Structure 1
Amino acid sequence: MKSTIPLTDVLWRRAQEQPTATAYRFLADGTPATAVDHTYRDVADRAAVVAAELDGAAGRRVVLAVDPGLDYVAALYGVLAAGATAVPSFPPVGRRATARFLGILADCAPSAVLLSSWAAQRVAELADRLPPALRGVRWLTVDEEFFARHADPPRYRPRAADPALLQYTSGSTGDPKGIVLDHDNLVANCVALQHHMGVDPGRVGLSWLPPYHDMGLMGTIMLALHGGWPLIMFSPVHFVQRPARWLRAIGEYGVTISVAPNFAFDMCVDSVDEDDLDGLDLGSLRQLYCGAEPVLATTMKRFTERFAPYGYRPEALIPCYGLAEATLFVAGKPDGTSMRTLRVDRAALERGRVRPAGAHDPAAAAAELVSCGAVAHGHEVLIVDPDTRRPVPPGTVGEIWVRGPSVARGYHGRPDLSAELFAARPAADGADAPADGAPSDRTYLRTGDAGFVDGGELYVTGRLKDVVIVAGRNLYPQDIEVSVLAARPELRRAAAFAVRPRGRAEELVVVAELRDARARANRELAELRDAVVAAVAADHAVRPAEVHLGPPGTVPTTTSGKVRRSAAREAFEKGELRTLPVAGDVLAAARGVPA
């Protein structure tokens, strides 16, 4: 399955053979009113300008911190065409994004940084905050005037094994880890995804995902170029402001394929008004990938109930599993089939065993898990005991290990960690040897995710490091979080994690944020906490030691919307979590309302 055709060669070929075909369409405000199209020739010409500006950067790193849009796409392919390694990063907007941006620069030591033109006024300030050794970095801003220059097609041709991307893992600012992906990793991921998607001559894609993240970058922008179908894009900001823009764009452009994390489906159900549904038509949608966080059966059922009357077909949904360390795609539901779920005994699952729940077992005694489907073509998944490194028997939860051409080479500048996680070898002695007789010299990527295989399909139960162990039971935080959010409609996001107070056993803590930041009386806050405690106790037979309630933004998330439980734990332990304003007793009494 190894390929020797880098994506830049695909771009030059399409620019010659399909020069006027639309490659990318960007909706500047999330609506068709501001649509701008670029053909394959447009993209190739603009990429050539970037490559010419970066002449001499081959083998070096270039940070790509351009705003989402057509400039970003051209800059990406221009960096690759120059033979440099692209380092995607959020633009330095706001304190947290700026800290992450500077952390990435300090870690990867780039030769150049590409920014949107608005950031030109910040260059001096940003440069002053870098270590002295990086003060010589070139800062380039891109706009229409920049791209109006003429440049000949680049003569450099990247090799399959050359580093193409340095993809930093989501969420970390203080200790960023960059994943080294070569050109062949990128193409292998496209090939695996296209094999899974099948042939569709009329395919039209749509994405509002951040282009700095693996799903928004490799799963949409690069995949569309490799497959030769048009991709419609708009900014994640415009989706969050009004989720209906995503749904309406599907109908307006006859979109056949799109992708989003689980939280986006919830936002559509909770935030789309009836007025937004007028004339909505989702009938063109044939494939809707959902990944980047656990896929929840309750969310998908709610989405289907809400939007089936508007042409949405539940068989279009494709729950999938992937991670940046494997470029992106690892497993996905077979196309055209119904979503498969498995109702398992919760108590058995807490002990690492998979046992079907009884037909009459109450909801609190069962967990409904969503299948992430079959493993990607040309790849292999092994379920391994994380401590002994031995493959586990069927029906047992273990760590998910992955092998295949999409698996990255390791982390930038971290040889020891790379050897531990990207070149893991399973124990293969006696009865514990892999069932397929896999030779012991095979190496795998340790994902850090827990799961199991049933009926040839992969189920992901959570992150190993996030598992809450209380009284010898393994509690999966995402299950607890589902119970929390079901307790009261005012709650919009939750994080569950364990803390170990000095001299005491491990305790469960729940952090939940509300849908608005208005002041609430102490009595109302106490009722909310009691509802959360009752829901968690009923569903999981454990009582949270503390429930912290906060305004929107209290629960830290990654760029793809995944809950950052370790960051929530750290903020909780430091007393840095945001809090809700409390309506004072005097004010409440003046209104005739008990506090």
Structure 2
Amino acid sequence: MQVQSMQVALQLKQQGFSRHDRLIFMAETTPDFLLLFFACQYLGLIPCPIAFTVNLGGMSTYIEKLNRIITSSQAKAIISSGTVADAIGQSVSIPTLIYSEIVHQSKSLLQPELSELAPFTADEPAYIQFSSGSTTHPKGVQISQRDLHTNIYAVLRYGMKLRPEDRSFNWLPFHHNMGMIGFLLASVYGQRTVDCLSAENFVQNPLIWLELMSQYKTAITFAPVFGYQFAMKKYAESENKPSLDLSSLRVAGIGGDLISPDMLKMFAGCFASSGFNYQSFLPSYGLTETTLAVTASDVDQPPVIDTLTSELIQKPIVSCGKALPGFEVKIVDGTTQTKLSEREIGQIWVKGPSIITRYIDDQAPVESDDEGYIYTGDLGYLWQDQLFISGREKDVIIIRGRNIWAQDIEWSLLQTIPQIGVNNVAAIGINEQQEERMAILVHTSEELATDHTQLHQLATKIQNLTRKIAGVQARVLFTTRKLPLTSSGKLARAQAKEAYLSGNMAIIYDSEGHI
């Protein structure tokens, strides 16, 4: 691949790009994407991997988002597959190049000497990472070669405790920092084999993930919560269950959202006969602005579980581990900015050697303090140096001065009405008559959508439970459109709220009859 990447770099050079020019990459799980990405490293061009997805709002909404990214990144071109190029058409202001054409044209070139190229140095950029997309305004951070080295070293040595025989498996997309850094770049850095599956293939059949890990004796994998849930559900529903051997899986990383202890135990129980070890679970925490990871649990130790006590409920919560060497975490009061004690919930602030302190367009600076900590946007607490995440601060619904966490409402609904399904319910705050109130967005099947009697009964059940736990009357809204997710598989509540308020979410039943 090294020779091919250098040839592709020379082909890109002939396109007339200048050093440090930025190129938007449609991050597809293909060899061509890898060749182009590493070609940029040899030539001194800055890749900006993004997703091609058409969610709520359709193609026009995606083009609007893409044009924002073009403006923010000041990219000179887009590189994509022919199919994506056809879909984008003439809707963007910069040229679109085709992966396969660049790679094919490069094959006729002689192997270039390194002196013909201009590889990045340690303090130069590596690529631009955009946030996972919980809103339609993703923010980009420029990650340096040194940031990558620092964070990958910490993850491999202290987080995963990499071994010579380790082989990893990844289905996370390369526009996501865990897919790109945690697997692709970390595998190159650690000189270990990584097997990759596209996220689309995983969603179509999650059992492929388990079957291939069994076949290749995978030691390390990572997935958001929903990935483990999908695989377990598909296995339970399968009439001809595959024979699996997961005994070699020593690191089953998990993160990206609140982690249910019950889900961990259910997954471990489901695959215990296949050799899966509960202690393989490795909960962790990170964000785009820290390059990748901030905390990780202890390898070969069971996840640490505590009970989260909020104003509304008590629920078990899984620790995301302790800060990696060089990183620090503190919890502060959002109003007074004073440091809080153990088990007091507040804003999560972090600092460390691979922190990014500004976004590429400088329009929304990363919030930081005098000590070098940055604000993550998350809420949580510390206990025995373990970090526990309670939710995103922007997802807090404030009703008559009371803070109600969307995640608490959703968790309670799923515990009582599990048939709703994960990522199919979103609690949001809406303004009605100059007053904040709660709305519950629920994705339902096409079949149930025609049965208004059942919808009414379900809406009543949701309202009764919401009154019981939060003391408020919620407006329940059903839609047959899937609720939007971020690239890491988390529920994108802000995007769901925006889609509803802008009229881009077709409501088929409203508990208050406003249809």
Question: Scaled by the length of structure 2, what TM-score is found?
Answer: 0.90
- Whether 2:500 is the aligned partner of 1:500: answer no
Distance 2:413 2:10 in 1: 54
Match for 2:292 among 325, 328, 345?
A: 328
The equivalent of 1:251 in structure 2 is: 214
The equivalent of 1:586 in structure 2 is: none
Q: Contact 1:181/1:409 (CA < 8 Å) preserved in 2?
A: no
Alignment-mate amino acid for residue 42 of structure 2: A
Distance 1:278 1:293 in 2: 29
Identity of aligned residues (%): 26
**How many angstroms does 1:173 deviate by?**
7.1
Alignment-mate amino acid for residue 378 of structure 2: D
- Whether 2:268 is the aligned partner of 1:268: answer no
Distance 2:480 2:9 in 1: 45
- Whether 2:147 is the aligned partner of 1:182: answer no
The 3 A distance-change label for structure 1 pair 485 and 279 is same
SS of the residue corresponding to residue 222 of structure 1 reads helix
**How many angstroms does 1:556 deviate by?**
1.6
**How many angstroms does 1:145 deviate by?**
2.2
The 3 A distance-change label for structure 1 pair 373 and 102 is same
Larger Rg: 1
Alignment-mate amino acid for residue 426 of structure 2: A
The 3 A distance-change label for structure 1 pair 67 and 290 is same
SS of the residue corresponding to residue 334 of structure 1 reads coil
Alignment of structure 1 residues 56-205 onto 2, 5 Å: 56-91=17-52, 95=59, 96-119=61-84, 121=86, 125-126=89-90, 129-131=91-93, 134=94, 137=95, 139-142=97-100, 145-150=104-109, 151-154=111-114, 155-171=117-133, 174-195=136-157, 196-205=159-168
Alignment-mate amino acid for residue 309 of structure 1: S
**How many angstroms does 1:375 deviate by?**
0.6
- Whether 2:10 is the aligned partner of 1:52: answer yes
- Whether 2:300 is the aligned partner of 1:372: answer no
Alignment of structure 1 residues 305-344 onto 2, 5 Å: 305-344=269-308
Q: Contact 1:331/1:372 (CA < 8 Å) preserved in 2?
A: yes
Q: Contact 2:217/2:249 (CA < 8 Å) preserved in 1?
A: yes
SS of the residue corresponding to residue 299 of structure 1 reads helix
The 3 A distance-change label for structure 1 pair 172 and 564 is closer
Alignment of structure 1 residues 266-305 onto 2, 5 Å: 266-272=229-235, 273-275=237-239, 277-305=241-269
Alignment of structure 1 residues 427-506 onto 2, 5 Å: 442-492=371-421, 493-504=424-435, 506=436
The 3 A distance-change label for structure 1 pair 183 and 514 is same
SS of the residue corresponding to residue 299 of structure 2 reads coil
Higher mean C-alpha deviation, range 483-492 or range 143-152: 143-152
Distance 1:118 1:572 in 2: 30
Segments of 5+ residues of structure 1 without an aligned counterpart are 1-42, 351-364, 426-441, 583-595
Give a deviation string over 1:213-236, Cα, whole Å, max 9, x none. Answer: 111111111111111111101111
The RMSD of aligned alpha carbons is 2.4
The 3 A distance-change label for structure 1 pair 515 and 309 is farther
The equivalent of 1:239 in structure 2 is: 202
Q: Contact 2:254/2:282 (CA < 8 Å) preserved in 1?
A: yes
The 3 A distance-change label for structure 1 pair 514 and 309 is farther
Alignment-mate amino acid for residue 559 of structure 1: S
Alignment-mate amino acid for residue 407 of structure 2: Q
SS of the residue corresponding to residue 396 of structure 1 reads coil
Distance 1:204 1:379 in 2: 27
Distance 1:525 1:226 in 2: 52
Alignment of structure 1 residues 396-435 onto 2, 5 Å: 396-414=344-362, 417-418=364-365, 420-421=366-367, 423-425=368-370
Give a deviation string over 1:16-35, Cα, whole Å, max 9, x none. Answer: xxxxxxxxxxxxxxxxxxxx
- Whether 2:462 is the aligned partner of 1:532: answer yes
Segments of 5+ residues of structure 2 without an aligned counterpart are 511-515
Distance 1:85 1:400 in 2: 31
Give a deviation string over 1:229-284, Cα, whole Å, max 9, x none. Answer: 11101111111111111111110111111010011122122233333533122111
The 3 A distance-change label for structure 1 pair 285 and 293 is same
**How many angstroms does 1:474 deviate by?**
2.7
SS of the residue corresponding to residue 410 of structure 1 reads coil
- Whether 2:502 is the aligned partner of 1:574: answer yes
**How many angstroms does 1:176 deviate by?**
3.6
Q: Contact 1:92/1:101 (CA < 8 Å) preserved in 2?
A: no
Alignment-mate amino acid for residue 72 of structure 1: F
SS of the residue corresponding to residue 99 of structure 2 reads strand
Alignment-mate amino acid for residue 424 of structure 1: D
Give a deviation string over 1:275-315, Cα, whole Å, max 9, x none. Answer: 35331221111101111222222322222222222211110
- Whether 2:505 is the aligned partner of 1:545: answer no
Matched residue count: 495
Question: Scaled by the length of structure 1, what TM-score is found?
Answer: 0.78
